[in-house]
Structure 1
Amino acid sequence: MGNMVRQCSMCMNTTSSECKVDTLQGVGYTLLFIPGILLHIAAFCAFRLCSWTDTHIYMFNLALADSTLILFLPFRIYDAFRCLPKNSLCMFLFNFHFLNMYASILTTAAVSVHRYLAVRFPMQARSWSRKKETAIAVCFIIWGLLITVCAVFREENSPDKLWTCYERRKDKPLSLVFILLLLLLGYFLPLLTIVFCSSQIIYILFKLNDETQEKKGIIGIVTANLVVFVVCFTPINVSYIVNYLSKPPADWQCRPMLAHTYLIVSEWIASTNCCFDSISYYFLLKHFYSQQ
């Protein structure tokens, strides 16, 4: 018992200079980084094979968000093994990771709307003369909105609120206003948009009398994207609520919390979306190229 008290006392007195090695996170993000890089190289090579349309602009923006998240994963891997100092760079990396994650979420919602309009109003979609300009404007709006949110709520992830470079202190959760903003605008609204658009696309295509491979392929891609979105991004948004409602013990530095462990795992699951997205838009680009 006395030994446990001494260990806990040492843990409570841990300074920021001491490193908490997290081998599991380091290995997990390494396993994600290697295939992610290879898949995105293949995807960007496919972009060179096609003539640019509004569809390619949306997919390129999605690829940009995913690839930048992947490219910065080595910082997270290094932090897991060697520990980065909790400074302004660390604050930037923490915000940048989630900035790209939500850029991917919002772009996926925009792609779903784009697909729905093309299937629901095919003639009007073909005759619209400013499709590229609209796609570029939507992408700029997404990035502008996210950068603004990061700037307004920059203190939410300031160095004094971080336990490690990529983990918040358990006794300083996100503010309720910021959590509600993330949940409503960053998850529920995109989710409702994707569910509506995907279900309408599948319904419209099922009403067609043809049984072509192209129809089956589109239905398969739309369904797969919906499933991947729900599986990848639902856990992390649930974890925000769980961590906010979970009150940490006084010795939270020593005692592992189930809610915090769930948050760490859900962040990794959300990051896997980059690999799934790259597979999706790689095959979509190959499909569009083969139709030219």
Structure 2
Amino acid sequence: MGANSTNATCVVDNLQCLSYSPLFVLGFLVNAAAARAFASKRLSWTETHIYMLNLVVADTALVLFLPFRIYDALYCLPTTTLCTLLIFIHFINMYASIMTTMAISVHRYLTVRFPLQARSWRRKKETAVVVCLLIWVFLVTVCAAFRTENYPEQLWTCYVRRKDHPLRLEFLLILLLVGFLVPLMIIVFCATQIIYILSKEEDRLEEKKKTVGVVMANMIVFIVCYTPIHVGFLINFLYHAPEHWQTRHIPAHMYFQVSEWVASTNCFFDSISYYFLLKQFYS
């Protein structure tokens, strides 16, 4: 099933074009502003800035490839190896954002839980760099190991997998467990602990309230953005579609398309983190 099947199944999708176009514009502007802000901080970097820069890189890369998705919605790209590359780029950067957010949450928790020790820790910047590199190496390795999952013959259209060929169970488990559930549990644990610790302290109440607000907002955004798409992965795995189905007529497919867009909006909502980074929280 290659380009010929694409001609039979791909149709112009104005809704996707309308939904991804403003996301591209807003995401590009926000991440460009963040990149400019980081350039001005080059002489006073901390480990927090390193983690946040990694988040900017992941979000920017995701945003920069959205025009391919917009073009596909309007003109239908043929299902070639370019589509395989685009799918992996999209999801590598999405999971890089997830794992970097997890790393930031752990860093915040350790800083709040052990404030005196945190100031004396050595090689904090080097550790942050290593963590970020390990995230990228892990994600690229997973994609290389499961590269056949999104080969052209596995696709109905450039961005849509054949639902009669579900993901391999081991790949799905990596996405759900390592890519989402473990980061989710760590982020929720760190956020609730930070809120609990700060709520017990009575000094600098106004600053503590702002910090609690940031932590709470980041946790809620993470849950709202990334939960639907992972539920969608599970639905697609459990739902056995017929061999010759039309994508637009399947509710499960429509749900997954919406949830994928919701997950992509995180590249814009991460701007909350950029803003409070420049306010020098957790530095």
- TM-score (normalizing by structure 1): 0.91
Q: Alpha-carbon deviation of 1:211? A: 4.9
Alpha-carbon separation, structure 2, partners of 1:37 and 1:214? 30
Equivalence for 1:287:
279
Equivalence for 1:204:
197
More deviation, 193-202/169-178: 169-178
Alpha-carbon separation, structure 2, partners of 1:147 and 1:66? 16
Equivalence for 2:68:
75
Give 1:25's aligned amino acid: Q
Say which of 95, 98, 103 aligns to 2:96.
Answer: 103
Q: Alpha-carbon deviation of 1:254? A: 6.7
- Note the residue ranges of structure 1 that are not aligned, 5 or more in a row: 1-13
More deviation, 208-217/100-109: 208-217
C-alpha RMSD of matched pairs (Å) = 1.7
State the identity as a percent. Answer: 57
Alpha-carbon separation, structure 2, partners of 1:44 and 1:177? 36
Q: Is the 2:218–2:273 Cα contact (8 Å) retained in structure 1?
A: no
Equivalence for 2:81:
88
Say which of 11, 16, 37 aligns to 2:6.
Answer: 16
Call closer, same or farther: CA 1:83–1:255 in 2, change over 3 Å: closer
Q: What secondary structure is seen at the aligned counterpart in 2 of 1:267?
A: helix
Where do 4+ consecutive residues of structure 1 move more than 2 Å?
14-19, 210-213
Call closer, same or farther: CA 1:69–1:245 in 2, change over 3 Å: same
Q: Is the 2:105–2:190 Cα contact (8 Å) retained in structure 1?
A: yes
Q: Alpha-carbon deviation of 1:285? A: 2.5
Higher alpha-carbon Rg = 1
Equivalence for 2:120:
127
Q: What secondary structure is seen at the aligned counterpart in 2 of 1:163?
A: strand
Alpha-carbon separation, structure 1, partners of 2:36 and 2:210? 22
Alpha-carbon separation, structure 2, partners of 1:33 and 1:178? 29
Call closer, same or farther: CA 1:95–1:49 in 2, change over 3 Å: same
Alpha-carbon separation, structure 1, partners of 2:248 and 2:274? 44
- Note the residue ranges of structure 2 that are not aligned, 5 or more in a row: none
Q: What secondary structure is seen at the aligned counterpart in 1 of 2:256?
A: helix
Q: Alpha-carbon deviation of 1:190? A: 0.1
- How many residue pairs match? The answer is 277
Q: Is the 1:26–1:81 Cα contact (8 Å) retained in structure 2?
A: yes
Alpha-carbon separation, structure 2, partners of 1:234 and 1:257? 20
Q: Is the 1:239–1:263 Cα contact (8 Å) retained in structure 2?
A: yes
Equivalence for 1:39:
30
- TM-score (normalizing by structure 2): 0.94
Equivalence for 1:10:
none
Equivalence for 1:4:
none
Q: What secondary structure is seen at the aligned counterpart in 2 of 1:15?
A: helix
Q: Alpha-carbon deviation of 1:255? A: 6.5
Alignment of 1:1-292 (within 5 A): 15-17=5-7, 19-50=10-41, 51-253=44-246, 256-277=249-270, 279-288=271-280
The superposition leaves residues 193-245 of structure 1 with CA deviations (integer Å, 9 ceiling, x where unpaired) of: 00000001000000101253221111000000000000000000001111111
